[in-house]
Chain A
Amino acid sequence: MQSKMKESDPILEVENLSASTDNLPILKGVSLTVYPGEIHAIMGRNGCGKSTLSKIIAGHPSYNITNGDIKFLGDNINSLEPEERSQSGIFLGFQYPIEIPGVSNLEFLRVSTNARRKFLNKEELDTFDFEELVKEKLEIVKMDHAFLSRSVNQGFSGGEKKRNEILQMALLEPKIAILDETDSGLDIDALRIVASGIKKISNAQTGIILITHYQRLLDEIKPNYVHVMSDGQIIKTGESDLALELEEKGYEWTDNFIKET
């Protein structure tokens, strides 16, 4: 589908990926390639396998890959641990960020950032140096310093949790970010903050996959490609106007594609 000649090597290649959980097939042959600087949007009904795809790329232990490969910067990562994937530059922004009682957000962010820095052969940061770095990154998501002293995501509002995810993305500087419904549950102002944050963090060397139901995020961040998923497969790929068409005609319209294929 992406037949254009690319100058650089792909960041992520998902090749004919099938996966199941508890012997229930969820993905049924998904292929997707992301080159540096590209933004891909994945849309589709609830339960079509979008979130599963993102979790499998990040290494969630509940899913088994039954067929196909995931390659990151040319290497097969099918059997890498989630932490190894994160350290090497894969970031998953959670649809429902998890609360971790008692663990301070600041310490969590520092340990996480240092794990990535260690992988990059960069010096690990002590508490003071990290404070400096995080202060700068807080600006991007317009978060208050007070968030750092709270437990990870505990008692955060929906919008605060999502901003905390983008803060993590800003600190980890991933090669590829998969953002699973980062826009859901955000009011208009929060959506703008999150969207502008994502734009600030991404650049010509990074790739982004946005999983979303809504056009409003794609108005803020214009994707190069839009993929429509249904029943564990990508059934249609187009450019950004596909999302607009989808918004207008609804997912029922896409049911026809399945019949075609």
Chain B
Amino acid sequence: MVNENLVKDVVKEPYKYGFVTDIETEKIAKGLNEDVIRLISQKKEEPKYLLDFRLKAFKKWQKMEEPDWAGLGYKQIDYQDIIYYSAPKQKEKISSLDEVDPKLLETFDKLGIPLTEQKKLTNVAVDAVFDSVSIATTFREELAEHGVIFCSISEAVKNHSDLIEKYLGTVVPASDNYFAALNSAVFSDGSFVYIPKGVTCPMDLSSYFRINSGDSGQFERTLIIAEEASSVSYLEGCTAPMFDTNTLHAAVVELIALDDASIKYSTVQNWYAGDEEGIGGIFNFVTKRGKCLGKRSKISWSQVETGSAITWKYPSCLLLGEESVGEFYSVALTNNLQQADTGTKMIHIGPKTKSTIVSKGISAGNSKNSYRGLVKMGTKATGSRNYSQCDSMLIGDQASANTFPYIKSQQPNSEIEHEASTCRISEDQLFYLQSRGIEFEEAVSMMVSGFCRDVFNQLPMEFAAEADKLLALKLEGSVG
């Protein structure tokens, strides 16, 4: 079929973030044992409770088995062949951005995330994470005026230890799952956000994660706490160079919303996906979970997943507070030999809780794209409601799409609604658009964006435009 081949050409993906920054790094030796964990903790000058947290997690991890229920196919990971700490060499204490290695600033410049005073993005504060460490955080003083804390988690351990001790591991316990346990043992850096009572964060906060080394894993940890009646919108972006080896990225994100607080967490994930033969790419095995602890609190996840060789993540909400709200809006695009198993868990515990799930999976090439989700109504979740919509779009005839919705209800006085659909970009649809003068590539990209519209509408404005561009780029046939 002529058209099938054309579609294949169109979805060929040029990855423009594949460069490596040549910079001197401080790495510890490969391998994982108690000494490595002590070393990481020592490098970060951590208090004893945190070292204990890590060691406990490590003991648990050693007793756990790598899960295989997702049916994802990948070569066994050799956990002794990974470097667990890698940081660009720079002065011990950096007091201003002028002291940051210009190569690092240049790297983030190239990624479209300028950090310097003159060039920094005007309406969003950025925490830039390079391999295992946070390089810089912009707009800190401005945020501090509002009492908002936005810094790397390492810094938070030093300066806001009480908050870390109180909340770390309370949403995703160290023993939660294999990769969460591993992260709890070796996490290096990540972002920390604290929004005080009654404060609406004056600007969007954003973290940009960059993997640079080929042989080190990235294990970042993010913790966001929104106090009573506060609100924040947080964005996360990710890229990595092109290596022909697989790099493990096992992050943990924990969100906590108290009474009337709201957290919106948006991700555009564009880790390197490997080449057409499936060589290289990031293993993105991530645990993200939010706890709606307070009454009428709200946590909203939106994600655009286009990268990684394998994506395995389920941003979830624990709806404890009465009338709390959980949302999950997702677009996952897979191409070539990419695999994605993603979805959410909405655990309704409190009464009158509400959740919405909108998932859009697009599979092209020989990729596998699955939605896997759980909606659970606990015994006390009276008057609670869920609405789920899971749509899949197939491009070509070699890709696969699956939907695995799990529904458990222990509460007769609750409502669960699930809709699912699968469609294919049909030759007739393409011909219709082409016969109206619209180029083939633009026609495909129009239909893909159309398919994703419900989710894009949920993204913050600047992000929505970026996501649309990213999908178009992924679907572009031209080189470069």
Q: Are A87 and B437 in contact (CB under 8 A)?
A: yes
The complex places the Cα of A104 from the Cα of B428 at a distance, in Å, of 18
The complex places the Cα of A107 from the Cα of B433 at a distance, in Å, of 12
Taking CB atoms, residues of chain B closer than 8 Å to A85 are: 435
Q: Is A43 an interface residue (CB 8 A)?
A: no
The complex places the Cα of A138 from the Cα of B200 at a distance, in Å, of 45
Q: Is B119 an interface residue (CB 8 A)?
A: no
Q: Is A103 an interface residue (CB 8 A)?
A: yes
The complex places the Cα of A7 from the Cα of B451 at a distance, in Å, of 50
Q: Are B436 and A101 in contact (CB under 8 A)?
A: no
Q: Is B97 an interface residue (CB 8 A)?
A: no
The complex places the Cα of A222 from the Cα of B433 at a distance, in Å, of 30
B-to-A contact residues, CB < 8 Å: 2-3, 423, 426-429, 431-440, 442, 446-447, 449-454
Taking CB atoms, residues of chain A closer than 8 Å to B426 are: 98
Contact partner of A172 (CB less than 8 A), chosen from B427, B436, B451, is: B436
Residue of B nearest to A99 (CB): B429
Contact partner of A111 (CB less than 8 A), chosen from B432, B440, B446, is: B446
Using known A-B contacts A101-B450, A101-B451, A102-B447, determine if residue A108 contacts B429 with beta carbons closer than 8 Å. Answer: no
The complex places the Cα of A94 from the Cα of B429 at a distance, in Å, of 12
Chain A residues within 8 Å of chain B by Cβ, number? 30
Q: Are A86 and B429 in contact (CB under 8 A)?
A: no
Taking CB atoms, residues of chain B closer than 8 Å to A139 are: none
Using known A-B contacts A86-B435, A108-B436, A112-B438, determine if residue A102 contacts B428 with beta carbons closer than 8 Å. Answer: no
Q: Are A102 and B437 in contact (CB under 8 A)?
A: no
Q: Are B437 and A151 in contact (CB under 8 A)?
A: no
Shortest distance between the CB of B458 and any CB in chain A (Å): 14
Q: Which residues of A from 74 to 112 have beta carbons under 8 Å from B? A: 81-83, 85-87, 92, 94, 97-98, 100-104, 107-108, 111-112
The complex places the Cα of A159 from the Cα of B10 at a distance, in Å, of 35
Contact partner of B436 (CB less than 8 A), chosen from A60, A61, A86, A102, is: A86
Q: Is A115 an interface residue (CB 8 A)?
A: yes
Shortest distance between the CB of A172 and any CB in chain B (Å): 7
Residue of B nearest to A103 (CB): B450
Taking CB atoms, residues of chain A closer than 8 Å to B428 are: 98
Taking CB atoms, residues of chain A closer than 8 Å to B452 are: 102
Q: Are A102 and B453 in contact (CB under 8 A)?
A: yes
Residue of B nearest to A83 (CB): B434
The complex places the Cα of A100 from the Cα of B436 at a distance, in Å, of 13
Q: Are B431 and A112 in contact (CB under 8 A)?
A: no
Q: Are B450 and A83 in contact (CB under 8 A)?
A: no
Q: Is A168 an interface residue (CB 8 A)?
A: yes
A-to-B contact residues, CB < 8 Å: 58-62, 81-83, 85-87, 92, 94, 97-98, 100-104, 107-108, 111-112, 115-116, 119, 151, 168, 172
Q: Are B435 and A59 in contact (CB under 8 A)?
A: yes
Jot down 13 A-B pairs with beta carbons below 8 A, ordered by A: A58-B435, A59-B435, A60-B431, A82-B431, A83-B434, A83-B437, A86-B437, A100-B432, A100-B447, A102-B447, A102-B452, A104-B450, A172-B436
Shortest distance between the CB of A112 and any CB in chain B (Å): 4
Taking CB atoms, residues of chain B closer than 8 Å to A81 are: 434, 440
Q: Are A115 and B432 in contact (CB under 8 A)?
A: no
The complex places the Cα of A116 from the Cα of B433 at a distance, in Å, of 13
Taking CB atoms, residues of chain B closer than 8 Å to A59 are: 434-435
The complex places the Cα of A231 from the Cα of B114 at a distance, in Å, of 67
Shortest distance between the CB of A17 and any CB in chain B (Å): 18
The complex places the Cα of A82 from the Cα of B453 at a distance, in Å, of 27
Q: Are A102 and B438 in contact (CB under 8 A)?
A: no
Q: Are A100 and B435 in contact (CB under 8 A)?
A: no
Shortest distance between the CB of B478 and any CB in chain A (Å): 16
The complex places the Cα of A103 from the Cα of B434 at a distance, in Å, of 14
Using known A-B contacts A102-B453, A111-B442, determine if residue A92 contacts B435 with beta carbons closer than 8 Å. Answer: yes
Shortest distance between the CB of A229 and any CB in chain B (Å): 21
Q: Are A100 and B440 in contact (CB under 8 A)?
A: no
The complex places the Cα of A216 from the Cα of B439 at a distance, in Å, of 36
The complex places the Cα of A107 from the Cα of B436 at a distance, in Å, of 12
Which of B2, B423, B436, B442 has the most chain A CB atoms closer than 10 A to its own CB?
A: B436
Q: Are B449 and A115 in contact (CB under 8 A)?
A: no
Q: Are A82 and B435 in contact (CB under 8 A)?
A: yes
Using known A-B contacts A101-B450, A111-B442, A151-B450, determine if residue A61 contacts B427 with beta carbons closer than 8 Å. Answer: yes
Contact partner of B437 (CB less than 8 A), chosen from A97, A107, A116, is: A116
The complex places the Cα of A101 from the Cα of B423 at a distance, in Å, of 10
The complex places the Cα of A112 from the Cα of B442 at a distance, in Å, of 11
Contact partner of A61 (CB less than 8 A), chosen from B2, B439, B454, is: B2
Nearest first, the 10 A-B pairs at minimum CB distance are A102-B450, A115-B437, A103-B450, A82-B434, A86-B437, A98-B432, A112-B436, A87-B437, A83-B434, A102-B453
The complex places the Cα of A92 from the Cα of B449 at a distance, in Å, of 25
Given A92-B435, A98-B431, output 5 extra A-B contacts at Cβ < 8 Å.
A98-B432, A100-B432, A111-B442, A115-B437, A172-B436
